Every structure is written in C-alpha cells, then in structure tokens.
Amino acid sequence: MSSTRSDRAIALVDCNNFYVSCERVFRPDLRHKPVIVLSNNDGNVVARSNEAKKLGIKFGTPFHECRDLIAQYQIHVFSSNYALYGDLSHRVMETLSMFSPHMEIYSIDEAFLDISFVPASERFAYAQRIQQTVAQWTEIPVSVGIGSTKTLAKLANHWAKHSDNACGIFDLTNCGNCDEILKNTPVEEIWGIGHRYAELLKKHGVYNALAFCKLPDFWIRTHMTIMGLRTAWELRGIACLALEEVAPPRKGIVSSRSFGIPVESFEALREAIVSYTARAAAKLRRQRSAASFLGVFVATNPFAREPQYSNFISYRLPHPTASSFVLIRYATECFAQIYRKGFRYKKAGVMLSEIVDESATTCGLFESPREVLRHQRVFTTIDEINKRFGRQTIFYAAEGIEQPWQMQRKFLSPRYTTCWKEIPVVHAN
C-alpha cells in the first residue's frame, strides 16, 4: 500500500475562503472580522471567513435566514463580485505556475501541481515557499496538501486546514503514519464521496477513509460504480486520475440567471434571453468551438405560492455555429414558442450543446461564404474589444439598456482590478 506513495508527489494548493479573501485584499480593515459572500442574486451564503464559521453561519444557508446573526455580530456581507474573483484567481494561478512545469487548474481557487521533482525531505519547505510567494504577490492565503495521488493531495489539504498545528501545509508523502490519518478522516470528507454515498457507507459500518479503502473492490464497484472504485484506489496510492494540464473544451455551455425581480413582459424576458445567448456564444468562441444544438428555458419561482409554469425547448441548428447573430435569432424564436402570458418568471436560460471544434463548422447551403467570414471578423473584433475594455463594452441592442431583470447584488464591492472607474484611490494625509 505504501510503496508507490513516495514516488509521485502532487500538491493541491487551495485558496482559503477564496471569495472572502478576495474582498479583504482591498479592505484590510476586514481582517479578523466575520465576513460572508453571497451567491448570485444575494441568495445563499457561499463563502465565510473563519470568524463567520465560528459564529455558526453554515455554507449554503439562505441569506434571509442569517439576518439575525448578521445584525447581532456585525457580520460584513458582500454580493458575489466575479470580475474581482476571476482576476485575482488568474493572478494566483500565474504565481503558482512558477512552481511546477505541470499544473492543473482545477477550479477558480484550486490547482494541482506535480512537485515530484522536489526531494521528499524538501517538500514541506517548498510548500512554505509557495504559500509565502502567493501571499506576497497576491495577498491571498493558501493551504497546501501533498499526496501521491490527487485524491490523497485533496485529503492532505483537508488536514492542512484542520489539524491542530494548522499552518496550512500537510505532507502525506512524508508522514509517519498514513493509516492513522486515513482512519481519522470521515468518509464524507473524501473527494468523490458525496452525502449519498457517505450515508450508504455508514449504513454498512464504514465510517472513515481507511475502512473505505479496505473494502473489497467488487463491493465498491457494485455499489458506487467505477468512479467509487477509482477513489478507493487513489486512496491506496494508486493513481487513477491524471493531471489535466490543458482544460478540455466544454461539452455543454449553459448561461442562466435568476432575476432580481419577477419578470412578466415578453419584451423584458426576451432581453434576458438575448443577453444570455450572447454570453454563451462568447464562451463558445473563447474555446474555439461551435454548437449544433440550442436550448431555451423559462421558469416561474417554485418557492412562491402563485401559478407555476416552466418549459424547455431545444432546436437543432441547421449547422454548427458560434455566431451570436445566428444563435440569438434561433434563441429568440424558441423563446417566443414557450413564452406564456400571465406568469411571473423568475429564471431563464440558454444552453448550447453538441459542441464541435470550430474547424468543423460549415457554411449553410443558403449562406454566402463571404457573409460567414464577415460575421467571424465582426465577432473577433467584438470579443477583442470586450476582453480589453471589459465585458459588455459592446453589446446587442436587443439585450436592453435598463435591464430591470438584472440580478440583485445589493452588497457589491468595486471591481478594483478590472474597471478603471473603480480602481482604488489612495489618500495621503
């Protein structure tokens, strides 16, 4: 079980309470104070500072359910500011890329680094350097977990944050008693085991990671599919998950939002649909793909006691495309077919699927190649301008100007790093 463990070393670097840490970069007065960040539309709590966690604020709690605690303890509240988080994430990842030639950006706040080239005895110090450099260059605190597989690196990261000596670093490749660590890790903390499988395992008397990876392969395979079996092998130190250094293109792209207020009119809802389609199309072009299938959905608020309606319609495009013009045209047509008057809509969205490489796009039978090329030039230009000067610098008139349906973000902080108008100002006294 242990022979392969020391050969390979994967570090999982994870930003601590990432969204909260981002808010604190330009608000150092908020250090050591309870801070929370809300999901889109100021719906639920999605990030909490350690102080807020200690006060009993749980992940995912609806905002309105914690108002009392917020008032009582003067918790600082922020709406999600993705412009800020995305930019700071990029800076953290750039910094991390200096520490390994092989890196997988796993999410907005996590990356796996292959650090097998670092001798076992120096890995802890290496992790410290990572931590210090990221802190100095970006002000974002990170934790580092090291293991011989991705799953073990994840598990190590858990202990980096939760062990008594919590310095934010834990090296499982260099630890005296791995079995003891696995034994102290509850099954629900294992990466790849969610609450359903955790329940199932506990029902069978399996409570910790050590007991889990000692289960017979056949049992795991039968009850938890091949995915569960991979997880078990990874915990045993046998790598089943490769480092994905190049993100594979998305197979589906969804752009959807809940509205800040219920929307009833055909025109306002159509604005939202056009806006989401434009966003999805831009994502599509960014990964150099084209979509063959388009879906549109609308829904009322399932939590409200009022007439409910939801519908979804999909449409096979005449040929794969990434043209916003084309996609907007079909999305609008689809929307017109499912819209029903007299409902208070809360959410709408657009899905693009059956995604192919842009080189596979063909010119439609009744389109002129010149027209298609013209479209491509227009979008390349628009995308470039929006990239340089900020999203929505150029947008479609049909997206609307006022956009009363926009999501609610009452506690939004400035876009300190991505918008000239909101750049921080230093006052000299």
Q: 329-358: which residues touch DNA (CB under 7 A)?
A: 346-347, 349
Determine the Cα–Cα distance for residues 36 and 324; give it in Å rounded to an integer.
Answer: 37
Determine the Cα–Cα distance for residues 185 and 158; give it in Å rounded to an integer.
Answer: 9
Nearer to DNA, 181 or 284 (CB): 284
Q: Which stretch binds DNA (CB under 7 A): 40-48, 115-123, 333-341, 383-391?
A: 40-48
Which of 253, 273, 296, 317 binds DNA (CB under 7 A)? It is 253
Determine the Cα–Cα distance for residues 215 and 198; give it in Å rounded to an integer.
Answer: 14
Q: Which of 372, 391, 370, 371 is nearest to 382 (CA)?
A: 391
Compose the 304-333 pattern: x for residues touching DNA by CB under 7 A, - for all others: x-----------------------------
Question: From edge to edge, which strands make up the β-sheet containing 142-147?
Answer: 103-107, 110-114, 10-15, 142-147, 169-171
Nearer to DNA, 40 or 332 (CB): 40
Task: Kindly state whether residue 186 participates in binding DNA, applying the rule CB under 7 A.
Answer: no
Nearer to DNA, 270 or 346 (CB): 346
CA dist 28 to 76, 188, 307, Å?
Answer: 13, 34, 47
Task: Kindly state whether residue 194 participates in binding DNA, applying the rule CB under 7 A.
Answer: yes
Which of 21, 44, 100, 149 binds DNA (CB under 7 A)? It is 44
Could you report how far apart the first and last alpha carbons of the chain are, in Å?
A: 63
Nearer to DNA, 130 or 284 (CB): 284
Q: Which stretch binds DNA (CB under 7 A): 2-10, 36-44, 358-366, 394-402?
A: 36-44
Task: Kindly state whether residue 191 participates in binding DNA, applying the rule CB under 7 A.
Answer: yes
Residue 62 beta carbon to DNA: minimum distance, rounded to whole angstroms: 4
Task: Kindly state whether residue 257 participates in binding DNA, applying the rule CB under 7 A.
Answer: yes
Task: Kindly state whether residue 82 participates in binding DNA, applying the rule CB under 7 A.
Answer: no
CA dihedral 171, 175, 179, 185 (to 10 degrees): -30
- Strands, DSSP E only, in 227-288? 253-263
Please tell me the chain's helix, strand, coil percentages from 3-state DSSP, rounded to the nearest 5.
45, 20, 35
Enumerate residues 6+ apart whose C-beta is below 8 A from 47. Answer: 17, 18, 19, 20, 36, 37
Task: Kindly state whether residue 107 participates in binding DNA, applying the rule CB under 7 A.
Answer: yes
Cα 185 from chain centroid (whole Å): 25
Task: Kindly state whether residue 283 participates in binding DNA, applying the rule CB under 7 A.
Answer: yes
CA dist 289 to 92, 155, 204, 247, 379, Å?
Answer: 27, 35, 46, 14, 13
Task: Kindly state whether residue 424 participates in binding DNA, applying the rule CB under 7 A.
Answer: no
Residue 368 beta carbon to DNA: minimum distance, rounded to whole angstroms: 31
Nearer to DNA, 90 or 250 (CB): 250
Nearer to DNA, 118 or 297 (CB): 297
Which of 32, 54, 183, 251 binds DNA (CB under 7 A)? It is 251
Nearer to DNA, 108 or 238 (CB): 108
Is residue 109 within 8 A of residue 89, CB to CB? The reply is yes
Compose the 148-167 pattern: x for residues touching DNA by CB under 7 A, - for all others: ------x-------------
What would the two tokens of residue 252 be? 């589906």
Write down the H helix ranges in 60-173: 67-73, 82-96, 123-138, 150-162
Nearer to DNA, 24 or 154 (CB): 154
Q: Which residues bind DNA (CB under 7 A)?
A: 39-41, 43-44, 46, 60, 62-64, 106-110, 154, 190-198, 225-227, 248, 250-258, 283, 301, 303-304, 346-347, 349, 407
